[in-house]
Amino acid sequence: MGIPGSGLSESSYIIKNKSDEEDEEKREEKDDERSEETARDSDERNDIPERETSRRSASPWMLLLGIVVIYLGAVVLNLIPVNFLSQVLHWLTDLIRQVGL
């Protein structure tokens, strides 16, 4: 029996396979085992020297991907003209020719 959405429920059994005392003893044994494992794990972690964590920088490929996504988004939203990239490349080519490279 339960009340939906409240988190409240009650269960009862007509026929039970184990007594409540056996269940309680098994739960206590499992809790003891878990606490022992936790203590062992924490001791093992204390024995391991801490590593220095280094922060990874963004790869150049992620930067390029970000620029492409932003450019395509701006074109789709009509924030910049479709031929913007070709105009910029044409302008850079003229600038390089003037400089003499």
The three-state secondary structure class of 8 is strand
Q: What is the pLDDT of residues 4-45, one digit of tens each?
A: 777 777 777 676 665 666 667 777 777 777 777 766 666 555
CA separation for the pair 98, 101 (Å, rounded): 8
pTM of the model: 0.37
Residue scoring higher pLDDT (17 or 92): 92
- Non-local (6+) Cβ contacts of 84 within 8 A are 75
